[in-house]
Amino acid sequence: MGDTHGERRPAGELEAGVLAALWAAGRPLTPGRVQEALGGALARTTVTTILTRLYEKGTVSRERSGRGFAYLPTEDASGLTARRMHAELAKDEDRGAVLSRFVSQLGDEDERLLRSLLDGDGRPS
Amino acid sequence: MIYTVWLPLVLPFLAGPAARRLPASLPPRRAVLVLALAAIGLAGASTCALALLVVPGATHLPVVAAVGHLLVPLASGAPDAVVAVAAVAAALLVCCTTLLVRGAGRRQRRLRRARALAARSEGELVVLADHHPDAYALPGRPGRIVVTTGMIRALSAPEREALLAHERAHLKDRHHLFTAVVDLAGLCHPGLRALREPLAYAVERSADESAAAAVGDRGLTARAIARAALAARAASAAATPRPGPALAATAGPVPKRVAALLGVPDPGSGRAMRPLVRRAAALALLSCVVLSAGASLHAADELHDGIEIAQGESP
């Protein structure tokens, strides 16, 4: 994914990627660190803008770090609602009715097949 | 007795085997559409056929005969058999309608809850602090993508972009509506339940292809799916005792999706299907729908003629 490709995408999509990077780290990150975590797909200024916007929405908190800020994700109101819903759906055996999960459960044979497929594609194609 | 009326009740049982082979024979996006349309057509025709079976028996009731201005009950077989068939068909019709209304209501309530969540959330992505890897799309306007921290940490940043693109495709293409149509069709006729799994697979494949196009890398998308599935399996194996070897030995949907993205033959079938066999699946499903609809129409026409005779209008 090239730099220009990343910059052209809608702001909402970029926010999701930045937020996910913060959650993946699990500790406060400066904009520079976020940019590194994203593999340099976005410009530093873009990352800073997105982080500021996420902070204004209350999705992330921030603390002083040197001359700038380090950002940390917070579990906001939507996170709490999502948790309740998630728990409710876990009890519901028919949860597939509304939701499509990214991956379904694997059988033993599936695991073996997947590993051999991954090995076959170990190098970037 | 009108024999064609039984055809729409039998054909949905043949649709299942054809549907299972469909996702391999059509581009995923088209397979989703064809499966949903086939489900609607077959469910409509079988419901119609049930209604047509009720009518001849019902004309034995004086009140129905009076309303229809019938001089005699419809002559379409032994009266006892006709009345018995009508009673069973009417019971099935009531049962299907009840299931359909309840099923649609439950789905509606679930969607409303999902929308309530979507309304409270500021951003597209909702992260859940949960170590078990899981990710799904919540339909709404706009929809939301729910991902657990377990899933986020199982994937690299580019792989996460593939996952987000996959879930965005579900929301943008409104896949939950197609799923709803096929699920509800399964309540109209038990044979149509066999369409659910092929549709679920076609929907995932469609989202996979959209994700691969969005991130511009099929291999990356395949790896994201494989790693997410392996991480989820590892987490559930740690949390609960591993289920015994009773699990099916055939390839499940995830390895098939990964293989399709990597462009290698389907690991379940062992070898690639010949083009003729692939086209046959689509053709068979289409024939089921056309035959069902045609048979329903023919049966309705025969019934209409029968009614006119019973009314003493034509010879």
pLDDT value of residue A2 = 42
Q: Say if residue A47 is in the same domain as residue A82.
A: no
Q: Which residues, 6+ apart, have CB-to-CB distance to B250 below 8 Å?
A: A109, B268
Task: Check: CB of residue B288 under 8 Å from CB of residue B15.
Answer: yes
Q: Indicate whether A125 belongs to any domain.
A: no
Q: Which domain holds residue A103?
A: 77-120
Give the gap in angstroms from C-alpha A70 to the nearest C-alpha of chain B: 19
pLDDT value of residue B279 = 78
pLDDT value of residue A92 = 57
ipTM value greater than 0.85 = no
pTM recorded for the entire structure: 0.85
Parallel, antiparallel, or unpaired for β B135-138 and B144-148? antiparallel
pLDDT value of residue A99 = 63
Residue ranges in chain B whose pLDDT is less than 70: 1-2, 75-76, 118, 237-251, 266-275, 314-315
Please tell me whether residue B272 adopts helix, strand or coil conformation.
coil
pLDDT value of residue B238 = 65
Q: Rounded to an integer, what is the distance from CA B262 to the centroid of its chain?
A: 26
Q: State yes or no: pLDDT of A70 exceeds 50.
A: yes
Q: Say if residue A58 is in the same domain as residue A116.
A: no
Q: Indicate whether A51 belongs to any domain.
A: yes
Top residue of B112, B136, B176, B182 to mutate, by most chain A CBs within 10 Å, is B136
Long-range contacts of A76-82 (CB under 8 A, 24+ apart): A76/B122, A77/B120, A77/B121, A78/B117, A78/B120, A78/B121, A78/B122, A78/B123, A78/B126, A78/B144, A79/B126, A79/B127, A79/B128, A79/B129, A81/B116, A81/B117, A81/B120, A81/B121, A82/B117, A82/B121, A82/B126, A82/B128, A82/B144, A82/B146
Q: State yes or no: pLDDT of A13 exceeds 80.
A: yes
Q: Which residue has the higher pLDDT, B237 or A16?
A: A16
Closest partner CB to A113 (pick from B107, B151, B267): B267
Average pLDDT over residues A63-76: 87
Q: Say if residue A35 is in the same domain as residue A53.
A: yes
pLDDT in tens, A33-57: 999 998 877 899 999 999 999 999 8
Q: Say if residue A18 is in the same domain as residue A66.
A: yes
Q: Indicate whether A39 belongs to any domain.
A: yes
Q: Which amino acid is at B275?
A: P
List beta partners, residue B128. Answer: B148
Q: Say if residue A47 is in the same domain as residue A87.
A: no
pLDDT value of residue B291 = 92
Q: Say if residue A66 is in the same domain as residue A106.
A: no
Domains in chain B: boundaries:
4-238+252-269+278-310
CATH value at residue A58:
1.10.10.10
Q: Say if residue A63 is in the same domain as residue A114.
A: no
pLDDT value of residue B116 = 75
In chain A, the number of structural domains is: 2
Task: Check: CB of residue B18 under 8 Å from CB of residue B194.
Answer: no
Q: Say if residue A10 is in the same domain as residue A69.
A: yes
Q: Say if residue A8 is in the same domain as residue A66.
A: yes
Closest partner CB to A78 (pick from B122, B161, B164): B122
Tokens of B107: 């789905």
Of the pLDDT bands very low, low, confident and very high (cuts 50, 70, 90), residue A12 is confident
**Contact between B157 and A17 using a beta-carbon 8 Å cutoff:** yes
Q: Say if residue A66 is in the same domain as residue A89.
A: no
Q: Indicate whether A83 belongs to any domain.
A: yes
Query: Tokens 């349309």 — which residue?
Result: B37
Using alpha carbons, select from B66, B67, B78, B54 the residue that is nearest to residue B1.
Answer: B78
List beta partners, residue A34. Answer: none
pLDDT value of residue A123 = 42
Q: Crossing angle of helices B196-215/B157-172, nearest 10°?
A: 130
Dist. CA A113–CA A115, nearest whole Å:
5
pLDDT value of residue A89 = 65
Q: Indicate whether A81 belongs to any domain.
A: yes
**Contact between A98 and B153 using a beta-carbon 8 Å cutoff:** no
Task: Check: CB of residue B26 under 8 Å from CB of residue B205.
Answer: no
Q: Which residue has the higher pLDDT, B11 or A96?
A: B11
Query: Tokens 């049930």 — which residue?
Result: B50
Q: Say if residue A107 is in the same domain as residue A87.
A: yes
pLDDT value of residue A124 = 42
Dist. CA B294–CA B119, nearest whole Å:
46
